[in-house]
Structure 1
Amino acid sequence: MKTLVLGSTGMVGANVVSQLNEKGESPRLLARNPEKTRTVLSEQGLDSAGFEIMTGDITAPESLKVAMEGIELVYHCAGLPEQWFKDPDVFQRVNHQGTRNVMNAALESGVSRVVYTSTIDVFQGKTGERYDEDILDPAPKGTYYERSKQDADVAAVEALKQGLDVVFTHPAGLYGPGPAGSPGSNNFIADLINGRVPMLLPGGFPLVFSEDCAWAHIEAARSAPTGARYILSDDFYSLKDLALLVQRLVPDAKIPPTMPLWFAKLFSAAGELKAKITGKAPMLPAGQLHFLLWQAIPDAGRAKRELNWEVTPTLEGLEATIGHLKKKGLVK
Structure 2
Amino acid sequence: MAVLVTGATGLLGNNLVRICLEQGRRVKALVRSEADPDPLAGLDVERVSGELGDEEALRGAMQGVSLVLNCAGFVKIGWRELETARRVNVAGAAMLARMARAEGARFVHVSSVNTLALGRRDAPANESTPVAGHVPCAYVLSKTEGDQAIRDETDRGLDGVLVHPGFMLGPWDWKPSSGRMLLEVATYQPPLAPTGGCSVVDVRDVARGVLSAARQGRTGESYILAGENLSYFNLWRLMARRAGTRGPLTVLRQPVRGLIGFGADTWTRIRGHEADVNGAALRMGAQYHYYSSEKAQRELSYKFGSAEAAIDAAWEWFVSHGMVHEKKSRK
Deviations 1:77-121 (A, max 9, x none): 10012213753321111111111111122123x132001001112
After TM superposition, the structure 1 = structure 2 runs for residues 179-258 of structure 1, keeping only pairs within 5 Å, are 179-184=173-178, 186-258=179-251
**Aligned counterpart in structure 1 of residue 165 of structure 2, from 160, 163, 171:** 171
Alpha carbons of 1:34 and 1:194: their partners in 2 closer, same or farther (altered >3 Å)?
Answer: closer
Alpha carbons of 1:196 and 1:280: their partners in 2 closer, same or farther (altered >3 Å)?
Answer: farther
Q: What RMSD in Å do the two structures reach over aligned CA positions?
A: 2.1
* Cα separation, 2, equivalents of 1:242 and 1:270: 26
**Paired AA for residue 7 in structure 2:** G
**Aligned counterpart in structure 2 of residue 55 of structure 1, from 49, 72, 95:** 49
Q: Which residue of 1 aligns with 2:40?
A: 41
Unaligned stretches of 5+ residues in structure 1? none
* Cα separation, 2, equivalents of 1:30 and 1:149: 20
* Per-residue deviation, 1:34: 6.5
* Per-residue deviation, 1:52: 1.0
**Aligned counterpart in structure 1 of residue 290 of structure 2, from 285, 297, 317:** 297
Q: Which residue of 1 aligns with 2:137?
A: 143
* Cα separation, 1, equivalents of 2:84 and 2:201: 26
**Aligned counterpart in structure 1 of residue 260 of structure 2, from 267, 287, 295:** 267
After TM superposition, the structure 1 = structure 2 runs for residues 150-161 of structure 1, keeping only pairs within 5 Å, are 150-161=144-155
Deviations 1:273-297 (A, max 9, x none): 2122223332422332232222142
Query: Any idea what SS the aligned residue of 1:20 has?
Result: helix
* TM-score (norm. length: structure 1): 0.90
Deviations 1:5-33 (A, max 9, x none): 11101111111001111112231111112
* Per-residue deviation, 1:136: 6.1
Contact 1:180 1:328 in 2 (8 A): no
Query: Any idea what SS the aligned residue of 2:256 has?
Result: helix
* Cα separation, 2, equivalents of 1:266 and 1:139: 21
Query: Any idea what SS the aligned residue of 1:322 has?
Result: helix
Q: Which residue of 2 aligns with 1:24?
A: 24
Alpha carbons of 1:261 and 1:168: their partners in 2 closer, same or farther (altered >3 Å)?
Answer: same
Query: Any idea what SS the aligned residue of 2:230 has?
Result: strand
Contact 1:58 1:64 in 2 (8 A): yes
* Cα separation, 2, equivalents of 1:168 and 1:191: 31
Percent of aligned pairs with the same amino acid: 24
* Per-residue deviation, 1:66: 1.8
Contact 1:11 1:178 in 2 (8 A): yes
Query: Any idea what SS the aligned residue of 1:30 has?
Result: strand
Alpha carbons of 1:35 and 1:7: their partners in 2 closer, same or farther (altered >3 Å)?
Answer: closer
* Cα separation, 1, equivalents of 2:173 and 2:104: 28
Alpha carbons of 1:255 and 1:141: their partners in 2 closer, same or farther (altered >3 Å)?
Answer: closer
* Cα separation, 2, equivalents of 1:149 and 1:117: 10
2:115 matches 1:96: no
Query: Any idea what SS the aligned residue of 2:223 has?
Result: strand
Mean Cα displacement is larger for which, 129-138 or 65-74?
Answer: 129-138
**Aligned counterpart in structure 2 of residue 79 of structure 1, from 70, 73, 76:** 73
* Per-residue deviation, 1:166: 0.4
* Cα separation, 2, equivalents of 1:101 and 1:182: 27
* Cα separation, 1, equivalents of 2:287 and 2:236: 19
* Per-residue deviation, 1:181: 2.0
Number of aligned residues: 324
Q: Which residue of 1 aligns with 2:110?
A: 117
* Per-residue deviation, 1:261: 2.5
Contact 1:83 1:288 in 2 (8 A): yes
